[in-house]
Structure 1
Amino acid sequence: MGKLTAAKVKAVIDQPGRYSDGDGLILFVRAPGQASWVARVQHNGKRRDYGLGSAKLFKLAEARDRAWEVRRALVDGRDPRTLWQQPAPLLRTFKEAAEDFLEALGAKELGERRLKQGRSQLTRYAFPSLGRLQVQSLDAERIAECLRPIWTAKPETARQVRSLIERILRFARPDGPQFAGTLGPAISDRLPKQPAKGNHKALPYQELPALMERLQEKTGMGALALRMTILCASRSGEIRGATWDEIDFDRGVWTIPGERMKAGKPHRVPLTSQALAVLEEAAKIRRSDHIFPNGKGVALSDMALTKTLRDMGMTCTAHGFRSSFRDWAAEQTSVAGEIAEAALAHAVPNAVEAAYKRTDFFDRRRDLMDAWARYATGGESGEVVQMVAAS
């Protein structure tokens, strides 16, 4: 018997929050008038959320049936994402797919602040040219033409819109070969070169141990998230969106689902003892499924990390710590470049080269991240860390 009732659903439909029915069925209320059903399942050691549709369209009994169909599909070895595709998926427009994505996964993947910004950006820059087009008709050429007016005039906005478009297409057509990976390089090749980015200022890695010492003295989620960002050399969005069920404490592994990764593929992060210590600190004040939530229990905004740094008098950015890590790996270790790139979850740009690199160098990355964590926390001075190069 489920925990929810039709009366309960009606009572909370306009009250933001997360309401569990049991067996993985969850009612997400993002904001008044924005409620959707999600089936959360564990399969092959990984957690996945499958959008089941709007709570305005599907009643509780229908949502339970759909959640059961998701679990049945996984048992049968089928992809649940294909369960309710229309017989003629060509009729689905990009705008319809975008609305479904934003309702089902937007707040989880983007955070509330970025979700609101993303809606505005899509409405202004993407829907006028792409909104009425059928999803499967969109290719790099059409997306490039959509982005062209803002590509050099508003480069950061253009990159954000491109990223949103890619996520929506992966969500809408996971079986489409043209969306198997990122469209980024194919789109960029059709557009002029953007002005050089100047907003990811990096801290020289030699100064990191002192910064980490200061961060350890600070309280608050922003400081904890920054420490984790540095120790894992992860993108701030990956850290801010992290949830507890992505963490395997026994094996010391953080598995980020593909839908939260820039390249659209799952990524395993080896957790060092220092990173696990940060998680243990966060666990003591746990108040939501997010590891680093804000006061409302949802993902921290990107500005939360920036504000923490600015309050400390720092001018570097959270994203810049990835450059600090890359510089350290190049100058202070003998590790092969592809292992450092794998640690940063950088996509291999050449398709032929990517075909030969099926491994994610996980064991070697663990050694690298252990050395990095020791260095960043002051456990080692700047001497060279000897490591085996990839062959």
Structure 2
Amino acid sequence: MGICLSTRIKAESATQIGGNSKYVSTNGNHTGNSSGDGDFVLVSEPPTPQCEGEMLQSSNLKNFELSDLMMATRNFRPDSVLGEGRFGSVFKGWIDKDSFTAAKPGTGMVIAVRKLHQESFQGHREYLAEVNYLGKFSHPHLVKLIGYCLEDEDRVLVYEFMPRGSLENHLFMRGSYFQPLSWNLRLKVALGAAKGLAYLHGAETKVIYRDFKTSNILLDSNYNAKLSDFGLAKVGQSGDKSCVFTRVMGTYGYAAPEFLATGHLTAKSVVYSFGVVLLEMLSGRRAIDKNRPYKQQKLVEWAKPHLANNRKLFSVLDNRLEGQYAMDVAHRVANLALQCISTEPKLRPTMKEIVKELEQLQDIKNVENTCSRTSNGPRQCRQSAKDAGNKDANDAYPRPSASPLHSK
């Protein structure tokens, strides 16, 4: 029997985020920010199936047997763990690409299997949200949900495997595998993520992706960005209305200040989060980094005064990029990030406008990457390691610490 979820109107109060912890919550959930202004509009849960049986049956997903997934992941062995999420672990597995039955390790199709903790009620809600959203949507920049398993107390989700892992790893981890992402790849990832968000904000979907951050942007073998983890996503409202959430959830450092203060959530809240991620990609710095000097610990506060100043912008740009960019393009990216993190939501661009701007910058980049000829012959274009995006895609790399659907 499925467990029906209540559709009662939410009326809880926003939680406070402390300064000494990345995640702060009174109920074990991630806490975060969001934005918006104007009158509050209290809304109920999304008008989607609220019974777990009804919701699962309405999807076009594969209903896996737990025994098959145990075989596919070698009984959820610890050495198959790809990462740790909020409410469970993610394991690497193999299935036959046609029958979806378990396959021997190293054969068939690679999958990422997320097994949720049995005791987490919030995890169960996120489980249903993942099925509700990813089970219905199909887009090149959203991680594909292949299927699910629900047997007794076991709840499992099966996703496509993302060989390159998360953007977070490539920006912030150090090691022989994680070479610094080139300028060109950063623009490519930013555009892909923006397209995914623009799709979610579209007229037909109207989904507000509440936990946009680098660890939830996964990369395939060609560095195509795909959004993952829809457990905190919500259906948006039409017009100027917005959702109001009294349980403010997300990740500290990424969300717009108004959401933290009011719980008022709009699509422009996500635009702010995108601006923070874009700033991380520009600078190579984390949104919150307690290891830096006090005035540099909050990336937005530190970098914001520098973004509009051509001379000061150099101090923000990641020095590992080694001059791979043209300054006029860097200025435009910095200006876009500055617009996104505006304290006034109405001044932030839409995701559709962001996509258009990044596409124009991609066109400029492509022209600049065309090697100019001199009297001495063609000049080589400068690229960083793995810039082509199709080399050593199946190489193993160190296991990340905490993020869903990471690859080894």
Query: Which TM-score band (shorter chain)?
Result: under 0.3
Q: TM-score by structure 1 length?
A: 0.26
Q: TM-score by structure 2 length?
A: 0.25
**Which is bigger in relative contact order (C-alpha 8 A, separation at least 6)?**
2
Q: Which has the higher helix share?
A: 1
